[in-house]
Amino acid sequence: MPSLEPAILHADDALIVADKPAGLLSVPARGDERQDCLASRVQALYRDALIVHRLDMATSGLVLLARGPEMLRRMSLAFEQRVVGKRYVALVQGHVADDAGEIDLPLGPDVENRPRQIVDPLHGRRALTRYRVIARSGSGADAVSRVELKPVTGRSHQLRVHLVSIGHAILGDPLYAPPESAAREPRMHLHAAGIAFIHPDTRVPASFESPVPF
């Protein structure tokens, strides 16, 4: 079992940048056995830490936490105004045809199969993802593409559903990849590799990177 201990990449009086391992919740969920999470582990070190945005449990990588409610307000506003740059890397099934592109498909909950999300042209909220193929390898059933993803919006499961919608499920995705594929992989191959923002206190641009573990 890999360690679920997050790494603290940066901490100052305004915010904390943590590197979350795959398999650790971002915030507590229902049930006594689902209370262990990134937020509580960081709060054990910094009592005033408040999570600004979340990663899915199966996703690894960079998460911002604010120090206190005022910094949380400022950073939440930055996310709402889409001035925080996020970069993900994924391994997906098959060879993505275009070297780069956009996926602009509205998303909403799959009411019959929560927590799954679906493309919902009628009631979904707008979701936009930009992608670039880094590398293609393998052939046939073993064909894989390594892609860089930049979500412009921040919908639940956005990257996972958008990639499935163009026929390229993320390797090891427990919700959206074919079950036999998900069972073969030790983890979901999605990692939040980069984040960039204006520091809420100093107003100086800041950026952080996390090496992709797959």
Residue type, 186: P
Rounded to a whole number of angstroms, the CA Rg of the chain reads 17
> What token pair was written down for 69?
């409610």
Secondary structure (3-state) at 74: helix
- Please tell me the distance from the alpha carbon of residue 43 to that of residue 68, in angstroms, as a whole number: 11
Q: How many CA atoms lie within 13 A of 68 on its CB side?
A: 7
- Please tell me the distance from the alpha carbon of residue 140 to that of residue 194, in angstroms, as a whole number: 31
For the chain, the maximum distance between any two Cα atoms, rounded to a whole number of angstroms, is: 52
Q: H or E segment at 197?
A: strand 190-198
> Please, are residues 91 and 141 in contact by the beta-carbon 8 Å criterion?
no
12 is catalytic: no
Q: Which candidate in 12, 36, 56, 142 is catalytic? A: 56
Secondary structure (3-state) at 136: strand
Residues involved in catalysis: 56
